[in-house]
Amino acid sequence: MEGENKILQKIGHSCSLRERKGLFLLFFAAVFALVFFPKTTQAASLFLSPSSGSFGVNKNFSIGVYVSSDEAMNAASSEISFPHNKVEVVSISKSGSIFNLWAQDPSFSNNAGTISFEGIILNPGYSGTAGKILTVNFRTKSAGAVAVVFSTGSILANDGKGTNILDIFGNAQFNINIPTGTPAPTPQISQTPSPSPSPSIKPTSSSVPQITSPSHPDQNGWRNSTDAKFVWELPHGTNAVRILYSENSKDTPQIIYEPAISEKELFNLSDGIHYFHLQLKKGKEWGPIAHYKIQIDSAPPEPFEAKIQGGNETTNPAPILLFDTKDELSGIDYYEIKIGEGNMFLASAQIVHSNPFKMPFQSAGKRNIFVKAVDKAGNYTIAMAEINILPLEAPIITDFPQSLLPESSLLLKGTAIPETKVTIHIEKSDREIRQIETQSDKEGKWSLIDSRPFKKGVYNIWAEVTDSLGAKSSPSVKVSILVNPPTFIRIGRIVIDYLSIIITLAGMITLVIFGAIWSGRSLKKKIRNIKKRVAEAENSLSRVFDALKEEAEDQISKFDSKSGLNEKEQKIVSNLKKALEESEKLLSKKIKNIGNK
């Protein structure tokens, strides 16, 4: 098969004697270089484990996909093929994988018989002999040989250039056995059967054959597979075909197949634009020639770097990301970009090439940036970068009241980055109740007055800065403010409460005494009773004053033990003590005088 491929391609080219001499010299130079200047690139491989085994029909088995690399690698991708008529994929597991980021999650198609993945390892990458990528769980369907092979693949070195260091594929071969006692199925002919011709349409030798390609279905599209398959129908009476594969679009086919075949596979084709030529023979006549174009690009885009304009450390929350590359054959189709834990998004090659790419708004912190350049054939090259978004310098609250009256205005002063927006946050009980904005001047000074009333309690206040680019600072140090009525008002209320009690009691006692005196003047016979009542009133008043004095002294002692009373407040407390003592003495004296009359 491989010899036929070479013959097909050689026939499409002619070489002069001089060209042959040149090729011979080139071959000799290549051999000399390999012998005396051996390759220094370290090897890396993708392999399957186990690589062999035997299983029965309708049984499950698993294969691990592994990577081996002598030097640090940061990405790998592959497409694995399997015979879908013999086995099917039940599931794929990423458990235990060395990859911590997936450019394309592992997927499979039981219709096409393919498994594909694209994984990434962040710095410092991976080097070792058996790095697990994923596990594929198969189920057997029918007896026969099962070859699980890598169709395509790449292993990219962690060298900042995305060098492909893949050297070896380690494929696997399994046997599906039929249980003893079960008759073997009738072998199937692998050749594609010719469809029965339609009774209403009778192809003639003048009809141009219709060529299709399941491997390269779009003649104007690029594919990265270097293996191609071509299929066509054989009209009734076709006894031979003639084919050719070349770079010229109008070549005449020269390789004859008799009897006629209805499909052809070619392997290890070179990159570029090529044509498959087909001609059918019916009887003794050759029909018109059909030409089918395929475009192959198996090479990834050129290595490139992703850089942050202004450096990897910046306070700009939406910096410019610089990257661009080329692809010689098919051209760059698009870029995939992933920043930190955000979602992957696309950027067209035209926009990236003509305009610098501005990153979406980012909060402060470190994050990795992943850029994948994808060409029109599906090949890709990866570049990575790290960025650290730094917070702005935090503002400082320099002037603030430690205490505040409920009806007073709040005045704050501080410093910040010049000409930036300063946002003041006011919290109570860990809940933000106000947010006020002001602006720092050219010297970085700012001030704020909030005239809205505050309720009694403790308030925490902090500030942050936002510049013209939207970058934010770290929070400032929090300050606390106590909002409470003044102390003398609280003491005054206590004084008023106790004096009200004293006056009320004094008034009641005076009414009793005067009532007794009035009764005594009209009835002298009741003088003894009056004196007795006066004594009882004096005794009751003494007990009431003792209780009142005890409660008042208890309240006053609380103020005495409280730190922070100013001189005026201490004087009010002292006067309250004296007022209680003098009131007791005065009322006691009055009662005694009345009793002596």
**What is the reported pLDDT for 445?**
93
Tokens of 463: 């500030």
Sign of the dihedral through C-alpha 502, 508, 512, 517: positive
- Residues with Cβ within 8 Å of residue 268, at least 6 apart in sequence: 2, 5, 226, 227
Tell me the backbone φ, ψ of residue 349, rounded to 5 degrees. -65, -35
What's the topology of domain 307-389? Immunoglobulin-like (2.60.40)
Give dist(CA 326, CA 127) in Å, integer.
29
Pick one of 2.30.31.70, 2.40.50.140, 1.20.120.640, 2.60.40.680 as the CATH number of 44-177.
2.60.40.680
Give the whole-angstrom CA distance, residue 594 versus residue 536.
13
Rounded Cα gap, residues 416 and 447, in angstroms = 11
pLDDT at 534: 65
Q: What residue ranges do the domains of the chain occupy?
A: 44-177, 307-389, 396-483, 487-596
Q: Does the N-terminal peptide bond of residue 319 adopt cis geometry, omega within 30 degrees of 0?
A: no
pLDDT tens for the 597 residues of the chain, in order = 555 555 555 555 544 444 444 444 444 444 444 444 444 446 799 999 999 989 999 999 999 999 999 999 999 999 999 999 999 999 999 988 999 888 888 999 999 999 999 998 888 899 998 899 999 999 999 988 899 999 889 999 988 777 889 988 889 999 988 765 444 443 333 333 333 333 333 334 458 999 999 999 999 999 999 999 999 999 999 999 999 999 999 999 989 999 999 999 999 999 999 999 999 999 999 999 999 999 999 999 999 999 999 899 998 888 999 999 999 999 999 999 999 888 888 888 887 877 788 888 888 899 999 999 999 999 999 999 999 999 999 999 999 998 888 888 899 999 999 999 999 999 988 888 889 999 999 999 999 999 898 888 899 999 999 988 888 888 999 999 999 876 545 555 554 555 555 666 666 766 766 666 665 555 565 566 666 766 766 676 666 666 666 655 555 555 554 454 556 556 666 766 676 677 667 666 666 666 565
How far is 448 from 443, CA to CA, in rounded Å?
Answer: 16
- How far apart, in whole angstroms, are the C-alpha atoms of residue 537 and residue 543? 10
Instruction: Look at strands 357-358 and 380-389 and give their pairing.
Output: unpaired
* Distance of alpha carbon 268 from alpha carbon 6, whole angstroms: 10
3-state secondary structure of 98: coil
What SS3 string covers 359-411?
Answer: CCCCCCEEEEEEEEEEECCCCEEEEEEEEEECCECCCEEEECCCEECCCCCEE
Produce one character per residue of 188-214: b if its CB has 16 or more CB atoms within 10 Å, e if not: eeeeeeeeeeeeeeebebeeebebebe
3-state secondary structure (DSSP) of residue 509: helix
* pTM reported for the whole predicted model: 0.49
In the DSSP assignment, the letter for residue 330 is S
Q: Please, which residues have CB within 8 angstroms of residue 285's CB and are 6 or more apart in sequence? A: 205
Cis peptide before 317 (omega within 30 of 0): no
Q: How far apart (Å, rounded) are the C-alpha atoms in residues 100 and 105?
A: 11
Which of the 8 DSSP states describes residue 209? P
Superfamily designation of domain 396-483: Immunoglobulins (2.60.40.10)
Given a contact cutoff of 8 angstroms between Cβ atoms, the answer to whether 293 and 260 are in contact is no
- Is 307-389's fold the same as 396-483's? yes
